[in-house]
Amino acid sequence: MLHRMVNLLKLLLMTLSVVACLSTNVSELATLKLEAKPGTIRPVLSKVLELRCSVQNKNWESLDQSKTTPTTQQSTSQQSLWNDTVNSFDDSKWESSSSQGQAEFSRLLTLVVTKLNTETGENETIASVTGCETPVIEKKFLNTLQVLGSTEGSPRGGEQGYLTLTWNTPIKKHAGYFTCEAYALNSNKHPVSLNASLQVKAVQPQISDVVNFISTLDKYIFDMKAKVTEVYEENKKLREQARELASKNEQILKRMDSRGDWPRYLARGDD
């Protein structure tokens, strides 16, 4: 009974937090989708783990991506490094899970992503997004991941809201059972919710994976050394040009001193 009262209180607070938001009510059945890329982490080999929770609602159009997507730092090199385009394994496949049912989501209130704590048997909240607020990462998980999300739409069409969690260079402890929960109001202002869960696994790399990774890393280091040498030679040329200009400038000044041109030069400057 107490647990139910706590949940109702949380939902009431969520409702109050979105009163000021100017979102369009949509009376359409929604489905909750939870995706992970990759579905299986290979420590050391996997560069990124991305977990994405989204409310699928065909009535919603995409938002302006410049306002909802983070900027990506581009390489300063004119040509991509060999290691930037080649992987020894495929990490691009999405694993996905959807809610068993549908619900009428007139106004989406909040999205929450939790992870099962295998020691306590309880779900721990990792991150959430509510109303017009920016996504929030719980204190325990700060500085371990990046979060992006909104309950007012998504860069992808047909999504009423989304919450994306990203781990760089994920390791075994980042795997586990994840659950996404969506809370909303229907057209009658009654609270409704959906949830979806999936498991992200972690496996030890095979010997062949490690061999391929080392080979890739060696080639990457070789390319980096070549680029460093290229930059060094370019800087060397620039330094030589700077010395030549300094030498010419010094010669001009000496000739002006020997001819006594400084008074006339300064006089022209005064004019």
Q: How far is CA 225 from CA 211, 230, 231, 265, in A?
A: 21, 9, 10, 50
CB 18 within 8 A of CB 150: no
CB 167 within 8 A of CB 37: no
Q: What is the CATH number of domain 30-59+93-205?
A: 2.60.40.10
Query: Helix axis angle, 207-259 relative to 262-270, nearest 10°?
Result: 100
pLDDT tens digits in sequence order for the chain, 271 residues long: 544 444 545 555 555 454 445 444 545 789 999 999 999 998 878 889 999 999 998 877 666 544 444 433 333 334 344 344 444 445 567 788 888 889 999 999 999 999 999 999 999 999 999 988 899 999 999 999 999 999 998 988 889 999 999 999 898 999 999 999 999 999 999 999 999 999 999 988 777 767 776 777 778 788 888 888 888 889 989 998 888 888 888 888 777 777 666 565 555 555 5
Question: What is the H or E stretch that residue 228 is in?
Answer: helix 207-259
